[in-house]
Each structure stands twice: as C-alpha cells, then as structure tokens.
Structure 1
Amino acid sequence: MIPTQHDILIRHGLVIDGSGAKRLPADLAIDGDRITALGDLAGHRARTEIDATGLIVAPGFIDAHAHDDIALLDQPDMRMKVSQGCTTVIVGNCGFSAAPLTPRETYPDDFLLGDESWYRFPRIADYFAHLDHQPAAVNAAALVGHAALRAESVGDLTRPATPAEIAQMRARLEEALADGAIGFSTGLEYPSSRAADTGEIVALAEIAGKAGAVYTTHTRNYDHHFREALDEALEIGRRAAVPVVLSHHQGDGPENAGHVAWSLPRIDEARNAQPVGLDVYPYNAAATIIDPVFVLSAARVLINSSQPHPEMAGRELDEIAAEWSIDREAAAVKLSPGGAIYFCQDEQDVQAILTYPPTMIGSDGLPGGEINHPRLWGSFPRVLGHYVRELGLFDLETAIHKMTGLTAKRFGLIDRGKLAEGAYADVTVFDPDVVIDRATFTAPSAESLGIQHVLVNGAFVWRDSKPTGARSGRPLKRETRLASLTLSQPHVTEIADF
C-alpha cells in the first residue's frame, strides 16, 4: 500500500518521465532515496512540499561525457553540474581516468583532469571508497581510461604496447571492471594513446565485452582521416564483441562541413549489426590541449593557458604567431603544454547530430581550470533553452530523453534516468520558459538560469536556484546496476535500441 505521508511532495508540476512520452500533470512523492508515488496525490502530505506549478519535473540529467573524475574529489559541491540539473556524471572518458593510477612523480602532459596530487588510486575500488566516505553532490559512474592503463603498464608511450604489456593492461582492466567500472574508454587522438594500434585496443575492449560493459571512444581522428577513424571504432566494437559509444561525434575542419550526410548513415548501417551509441556537446567549438596537429583544422584557436607563456592566455593563436613571425603550428609547439579552444565544427552538423535519435547529451567539460569552455557550465540548459525553445529542433520530451532515459539505458544505470515508482529520486525541476545557458567563451563559468530544484537520491542539492551544501551522490558500481549488454547473437531490434 502506498503511504500517504511522505518525506517530500512535488505538487502540480508537468512531469516528463525520461522515456520520451508526452508530459502529464502529476504530483511526485519521495521517501528516503526513492520515488514512492506519482499521479494525483491530493490526499497525501509531506514534511517538505514544493509547488511546481508551471514547471517541468524531470529525471535528473545524466552527463554522458564528463571529465569530472577529480572535480568530484576537490570540488565535491559540483556546482557546475547541479546548477544545470545534472545528478549523475559518467567519468573516465577519452582514455583519461583518475584510476587505476599508482602515484608517480610526473604524468603525461595530456592528463588534464585536474590536480595531479589526486592521481593516487591504484584501483578503481580505492577511488570508489573515497567517494563512499567523502561523497560529492552528484552520482558518478566510472570508465577505465586507456591512457591510465598505458601509463601504468607501457614503458614508452610513443610506441604500441608489447604482448606482455597488453596482458598486464588486460589484467588491470579486468580488475577495474570487477571493482565496478562500467566500461573502457580510449582517446586515440591524444599523444598518450596515439601509438596504440587497433589490435591493442581490440585486446582490451574484448575484456569489457566479456564483462558486459561498454567501450567509449574519442576516435583516432576527427579531421583529415575522420572516415577511417569512424570505421576503426566500429571495427573494434565488432571484433571485441562490445557495445560502442562514439564520444562527442563531430567532424573538424572545413573539409568535414556537412559530414552528417555520410557519417550518420554510416552509423545507422552499423547499428543494424552491432550496438552503437553516441554523444555530443551542444557547441561548434572544442576544447583540449594545445597540439600542433589539432591547430591545423580549426578556423580559430583561442589560447586558454600556456605553461611556458602564461601571458598569452586569452589571445588568438594567429595573433601570437604573427607577433612571433612564425606559423600557427610552430606557435603551438612554443606554447605547449597548455590548453586551447578550437573553433572547428559546422553549426548545421552540430544541430543534425543533436536531432539524431540515438544521440545522448554530454558536456565534455574540463573542470581543472586549464581549459575554460562554456560547455562545463552550460550544456544542458543550452539544449533546453537555445535548441529546444528558441530554435525548435525538437520538443522537451525528446531533449529530456536524450539527457536521462537514453543515457541510463546506454550505460546500464538501473532505476536512474526515469521518474517512476521505485526509481531513485534523482529529480530536476525547471522553468521551461526561462531555462537558458549564460556561460560564454569570455565568461565560461556563468551559471545558467531556470533550474529551480535538484534532488540526488532524495536530498535537495539545489533548492530555489541555490546550492544547499548537501552531498548525497554515490558511486554507481557496475556489479550492482549494469544490465548485461554482451553480444550473444542479439536480435536486430535489441541492437537498434542500444
């Protein structure tokens, strides 16, 4: 029997449940960390009641592509995420994860998750234990980064791993998956992993496949060899018998403008034979390390930081190169290591990827302070305000599904990403007429508008548009929540659903 006295009641809201179904007026009751009733609850009472008249009540947003591994530890209020309505982050993307990493004196320059003093978790279990004892405001599910495995096991990162090194990485990955990691990620465009050949990745990805986990990939190239890189990612999924998630699907440089005319049909074709998903951030500019390879395909490059030339932060690369009387590639070498924003994508392509039904929403933001991009603070309200309300690309129900139910299914997050009796009480309440991003490339940390309340596991972490200080997030461990995604002669409709 459903109780009529509750911990929390959210009344009179328009409920969008995360499934893609149309909104319905309903009340929502929460007891402990679970949703206990949904519907007309006029006769029910609660210790805390919220009037959501005119507001949307949705599942808490899940950031499908986050780099918050260390932010969860040194910025546990996670204001940049809860202010957007996010209640869960998927960390360990692009091959970079805070664990497993044995402490050492130096790390590769492309490890940009944050303060290196936090690289002190030899096992994923150690990382989860820290989050259990010192929780953050949001939940976290963790991927194991290929670059972290290489740093642990490969003597020279500029070459492919030897068979003995691959065997060691496979053992470390198997251990991490047993500890609760949800999958394996690569960043094959980055220096730490660039030398790895396809066979090395297949050998590791098949460990994820056997464990019922996923393989996410920042592919080997997004500009001149974009087609080949996409094909390689799909090949790895087939050979390793593992579901593939294509990270921040994009085509960089003028030669790839309009790539969606072939790349999305290519993904559709693959989805008829293997599980393939993808995520995107809602901007036409990327942000990452300063790399001479990356600067060649960007229309503009804005320098965020430079260790040898900190005075150049905030300036355009072409201006710096002209001042130094060298080309932009040489200027990038001189400025490295550091961070930059690359204006390299076609806006119409971004919109086409956003509207593609299998696409999830991810921020891809780097919270370490080196690379400032508005996507860290603005991605989810930007979709809701700019792309839904202002441009009308799709409706709110579709947008919220891409931020919640779809992502929960991709990563096997059981009882997350939905509003239903028995589901965890991760809830976001927002004003659909107001919600919008305010972060820009010149003010990248400006908070968004319109997010009224956010609950994580039944506790308010954001109330009346302000943080509460509560830290009710949890590490979400695979062995307790991951629905099996292994490939044992799956039916085509099951593959298309992934």
Structure 2
Amino acid sequence: MWDRLLSISPWHGVTTTVIGNCGFGVAPTRAAHRKLILQTLEKVEGMSLDALQAGVGDDWPFETFPQYLDTLEQRGSAINIAALFGHTPLRLYVMGEASTERAATSDEISAMKKLMREAMDAGAIGFGTSVSVSHNGYAGRPVPSRQAAVEEMDALVSVMGDIKRGLMQITIGRDFSTRHMAEVSRKYGVPVTWTALLSHLYGPGGHRKQLDLAAEQRRSGALVIPQVSCRPLNFEFTFAEPFIFDVMKFMNELSQAEAGAPGTRRRAYADPAWRDKLRSELTPLFRNWWDRVVIAWAPSHKELEEQPLASAAATLGKDPVDLALDLALANDLQARFRMAVMNFDETEVAELITDPNTIIALSDAGAHASQLCDACYSTYLLGHWVRERGTFTLEQAVHNLTQRPAETFGITDRGVLAEGRPADIVVFDPKTVGPGPLKRVYDLPAGADRLVAEAHGISAVVVNGQIIRRDGKDAVAANDRLPGRVLRSGRAA
C-alpha cells in the first residue's frame, strides 16, 4: 500500500504482478479486524508489524474488495496489478474470529459466495487460499482458510464456474489435496494452480511423482498447474519469529504461549530439556539441515558470521542446536541464520521448470521480505538457466516469463508484443542479465529491514508505453502519475 513503485519487482523486469496469493490480503476487512489482519500478515508472511502499521495507517479508505481495487487504481502504481480474492480476509469478514477455529455454516458459506461474486464482478482474477500447516497467524492460530471444509472450497470455486472466468490458487496441505483440486477443476471448468512443487519437498523422487500426477490430471480433463521455482529456497530466520519451524507443533505452541506471556521463548531456549526436544523433532523434518545452515549475523560473535553452523559448532565443541540457541540468546533473539531449505538439487529443479504442465513463479515479492528475496527469479532464470546452463533457449525462457503466466492467470491482453496490445517491454542484454548479490536495507516504513538484490543487464523497463526504469535506476518518482493499471478480469486493460 505504501510503495507505489512496487520495488523490487520492476528492477528485474516485472511489468505485471499478481497479488493475493495464498489467500492473504487486506480486503474485505471490517474496522474491528484491521489489527488482526496485520498481525496475521506479520506472523505468516514474516512482515514487520511496525512497518505494516506505519505504512497502511489507521484510516483505510476501503472495506470491501471492490473498494480496495478502486483504491489501488486511484493511488496508481509503476507496474500493473492483478488481484486474487483472498480467502483469509473473506472468512474473517463473514465469521469474525471464529474463522480461525471452525468450519463455516451453510449460511456463512452463502454469504461468502455472494462476496466472491461481488469480487469477481469488480475484477478479481480468481480466488486465493491456503491449507498449508505452516500457515499460522497471530498467536500461532491457524489462518482462517485452513479451517475451511472441502464443501466451502467447492462452493467458492462454483462461483467462477458459473461466470466462466477466474482461477483458484491454493497453497497445498492435507485437507485439500491435488485430488480435490482435480475434482473441482473438472466439475466447474476452472484452472487450479498450487504452490509449491519444489525439489526435496516430497522426499526422494517425490517431485517426479507429482509431475506424473499433473500430466495424468491434464489427460483426465482437469487443469491443475503446479507452481515451481527456478531458485534454491534460501531462508534467513531468527529465533524471535522462527517461521521456518512452524510446521512443528511444539514450536507453534511456543508461539501461542509467547503471545500470552512474553519471555516464554527465552526461558524455553535456555532450558536443556527443551533443547533436547528441538533436537529430536528437527531430525525427521529437516534431513541433514545442519549442513545447510549458515550463521548470517551475530554481533556477539562476529568471527562466526558466514560460517556453517555445523562446522562452527564442531570447532567450539558444541552441539549445533546449543550453538544456535546460545547465539540467539546472546543477541536478543535477533541473530540471523540462513538455511537452504529445498530446491537446491539442480538436476531435479531442471525437471520441474522444463515440465510442460508447470509454471515458473513463486517470487514471494513483498512477503518474507526480511527472510528471503526471490523477486529476482526472472533475471536468475535468464542468467543462470539460459546463459550459464543452457537448460532453456532465450526464447523459451522469455515465453515462460510472459505469455505462459499471462495465459495461466487469464490476463488476456498481456504476455505478447503485438500491434494494438499494451506496450509492456523489457530491454536486456542476454550476455550480462542476472541478479546481483543479496543485501539487507532498512527502507521500509518504521525503518524495518528487507533483503534486496539489484538487477544486472537490464537497460529499460516499459509499462503501458512509459519507461519506468532505465539503466538500473527509477525513471519515475513515487509522486508522479504512474503508468501501471489494475487489470480487472473480464475487461481489457
């Protein structure tokens, strides 16, 4: 809401962004729920609450989703915006805080369907949701969408089937499987795209089984499209908000306890018995994880920075868990660790990104900003997978960054350069294009930090015929009249 230039996506040649993924967003929202929505984003998306409150402010000029789209349109943006209708704010709007606790009644589902139709009529390009066990909101409670029954999901997708427009985007979990996705896709003729299919996520060879399943579903008449990433998933985390471990029940319970009694975390981290429990729980979930963790920032022990945690622990004669928690406690829980979570096997990643039934995506731009920076995946694809590895031709990579996603999301007038089409253009040098190194900056509201990477080899970014970036610098200012548009489904833009 506060960054009309939508950095850093345009730095890397993005001219249209899709918001509302995973079902998170800020509309519809009643005034009484605004703080809870921001607290949910703080927890589940790793966003600074101080930055959110300072950036969004107290006077929201919208309540409903149509009003939200109008607000975005009136404010303007450097690049185009297409919006999914978010399941989490929808459930909170209809059910209140009970949305985090139970399934909806038939009357509540009917109310949600009406709001879904209202959102689609206003220009939403589809419906975003999540049933991921890692998606926990304020005080460790499940985000509202996780409590939705299959019948509720079916009812909301049926709205798009009725108007023959829109797609479903879902972050996968046990309660709404790829089988359910195929069923609703066939039933209503609605595409379903899910996140995330990554190397190592499903165990040895698991990615291949998912690709085979996607092909089988396509043959059966369902359009189920896994989203894949072309980059290794590297997270920076702290033990103040250890988002990366939220799949572990006892860590989530600790988050809930901390919300009610601040200081609970510190006491747990200092407790030898609690440390033993963490050790035993980590092993089956994060195989060989010590070898993939680096000490990124620890002011109390600068000499250990950029060292692998396992080797630093061995040198000091400590267990890695003990060293990690000792560093956390010595640095007010702000010591940072960097972990290659998954997607680091390039042979498997190559299979994922070249499969005809997947779509390359997952920038997470705007979310997890202090933990990772994958908004540079477009330049990484062009630099690493085209120039360095030769996995794609340049033409194939450009297609995967333009026409393929535009067609998937039903953005009908974008994705190709043709007479009469909007002039969204990126001018780049194939010999030098790529992302620069990650760096941490403190430019968010309230001085909050984020990770960014500049782009190399991009000489111009053009949106709707206007140059917005030239030679790595903004060619427009945040207070200018900006060329980006809200792309509303069912309407040429």
Same fold flag (TM > 0.5): yes
Q: What's the offset of the Cα at 1:476?
A: 0.4
The change in CA–CA distance for 1:218 and 1:252 in structure 2 (over 3 A counts) is farther
Is 1:164 equivalent to 2:163 in the alignment?
no
Q: Is the 8 A contact 2:172 2:194 kept in 1?
A: yes
- Match for residue 44 of structure 2? 110
Q: What's the offset of the Cα at 1:235?
A: 2.8
After superposition, the C-alpha distances for 1:264-319 in whole angstroms (9 at most, x for unaligned) are 111011112122333322223265934431676335486999xxxxxxx9999998
Q: Is the 8 A contact 2:45 2:368 kept in 1?
A: no
TM-score (norm 1): 0.70
Q: Is the 8 A contact 1:386 1:436 kept in 2?
A: yes
Question: What does residue range 321-336 of structure 1 map to in structure 2 within 5 Å?
Answer: 321-323=321-323
Q: How far apart are the structure 1 equivalents of 2:307 and 2:71?
A: 39
Q: What's the offset of the Cα at 1:137?
A: 0.7
- In structure 2, give the amino acid aligned to 1:268: A
- Match for residue 260 of structure 1? 207
Q: Is the 8 A contact 1:285 1:344 kept in 2?
A: yes
Moved more, 152-161 or 317-326: 317-326
Is 1:208 equivalent to 2:160 in the alignment?
yes
- Match for residue 250 of structure 1? 198
Q: How far apart are the structure 2 equivalents of 1:369 and 1:325?
A: 22
- Match for residue 252 of structure 2? none
The change in CA–CA distance for 1:339 and 1:220 in structure 2 (over 3 A counts) is farther
- Match for residue 448 of structure 2? none
Q: How far apart are the structure 2 equivalents of 1:369 and 1:234?
A: 30
The change in CA–CA distance for 1:263 and 1:100 in structure 2 (over 3 A counts) is same
Higher fraction of helix:
2
Q: What's the offset of the Cα at 1:100?
A: 2.0
- Match for residue 144 of structure 1? 85
The change in CA–CA distance for 1:210 and 1:286 in structure 2 (over 3 A counts) is farther
Residue identity over aligned pairs, in percent, reads: 28
Q: Is the partner of 1:232 in helix, strand or coil?
A: helix
Q: Is the partner of 2:44 in helix, strand or coil?
A: coil
- In structure 1, give the amino acid aligned to 2:170: T
RCO comparison, higher one (Cα < 8 Å, 6+):
1
The change in CA–CA distance for 1:433 and 1:215 in structure 2 (over 3 A counts) is same
Q: Is the 8 A contact 2:5 2:77 kept in 1?
A: yes
Q: Is the 8 A contact 2:365 2:373 kept in 1?
A: no
Q: What's the offset of the Cα at 1:240?
A: 4.3
Q: Is the 8 A contact 1:257 1:349 kept in 2?
A: no
After superposition, the C-alpha distances for 1:152-190 in whole angstroms (9 at most, x for unaligned) are 123241322222222222121111111110000111102
- Match for residue 298 of structure 1? 286
Q: What's the offset of the Cα at 1:366?
A: 4.3
Q: How far apart are the structure 1 equivalents of 2:29 and 2:472?
A: 37
Equivalent in 384, 403, 406 of residue 404 of structure 2: 406
Q: Is the 8 A contact 2:192 2:225 kept in 1?
A: yes
Equivalent in 161, 174, 183 of residue 126 of structure 2: 183
Is 1:271 equivalent to 2:193 in the alignment?
no
Q: What's the offset of the Cα at 1:374?
A: 2.5
- Match for residue 349 of structure 2? 350
The change in CA–CA distance for 1:126 and 1:350 in structure 2 (over 3 A counts) is same
- In structure 2, give the amino acid aligned to 1:184: F
Question: What does residue range 14-413 of structure 1 map to in structure 2 within 5 Å?
Answer: 73-103=1-31, 104=33, 105-107=35-37, 108=40, 109-110=43-44, 115-116=52-53, 118=56, 120=60, 121-154=62-95, 155-189=98-132, 190=135, 191-192=142-143, 193-211=145-163, 212-220=165-173, 229-250=177-198, 252-253=200-201, 256-272=203-219, 273-285=221-233, 289-293=243-247, 297-299=285-287, 300=289, 321-323=321-323, 343-347=341-345, 348-367=347-366, 370-376=369-375, 378-413=376-411
The change in CA–CA distance for 1:480 and 1:220 in structure 2 (over 3 A counts) is same
Q: How far apart are the structure 1 equivalents of 2:2 and 2:404?
A: 29
- In structure 2, give the amino acid aligned to 1:197: A
The change in CA–CA distance for 1:214 and 1:156 in structure 2 (over 3 A counts) is closer
The change in CA–CA distance for 1:217 and 1:137 in structure 2 (over 3 A counts) is same
Q: Is the 8 A contact 2:46 2:367 kept in 1?
A: yes
The change in CA–CA distance for 1:286 and 1:94 in structure 2 (over 3 A counts) is farther
Higher fraction of strand:
1
Q: What's the offset of the Cα at 1:151?
A: 1.8
- In structure 2, give the amino acid aligned to 1:261: R
After superposition, the C-alpha distances for 1:422-466 in whole angstroms (9 at most, x for unaligned) are 110000000000001124488941202011101000000011232
Q: What's the offset of the Cα at 1:400?
A: 0.8
Q: Is the 8 A contact 1:202 1:239 kept in 2?
A: no
Q: Is the partner of 1:271 in helix, strand or coil?
A: helix
Q: How far apart are the structure 2 equivalents of 1:110 and 1:173?
A: 23
The change in CA–CA distance for 1:303 and 1:275 in structure 2 (over 3 A counts) is same
Q: Is the 8 A contact 2:181 2:224 kept in 1?
A: no
Q: How far apart are the structure 2 equivalents of 1:150 and 1:315?
A: 44
The change in CA–CA distance for 1:200 and 1:315 in structure 2 (over 3 A counts) is farther
Q: Is the 8 A contact 1:373 1:441 kept in 2?
A: no
The change in CA–CA distance for 1:233 and 1:410 in structure 2 (over 3 A counts) is same
Is 1:468 equivalent to 2:422 in the alignment?
no
- Match for residue 490 of structure 2? 479
Q: How far apart are the structure 1 equivalents of 2:87 and 2:338?
A: 23
- Match for residue 425 of structure 1? 423
Q: Is the partner of 2:146 in helix, strand or coil?
A: coil
Q: Is the 8 A contact 1:141 1:476 kept in 2?
A: yes
The change in CA–CA distance for 1:195 and 1:320 in structure 2 (over 3 A counts) is farther
Q: Is the 8 A contact 1:412 1:481 kept in 2?
A: no
Q: What's the offset of the Cα at 1:250?
A: 2.5
Q: What's the offset of the Cα at 1:325?
A: 7.5
Q: What's the offset of the Cα at 1:320?
A: 7.9
The change in CA–CA distance for 1:339 and 1:214 in structure 2 (over 3 A counts) is farther
- In structure 2, give the amino acid aligned to 1:146: H
Q: How far apart are the structure 2 equivalents of 1:80 and 1:292?
A: 27
Q: Is the 8 A contact 2:455 2:472 kept in 1?
A: no
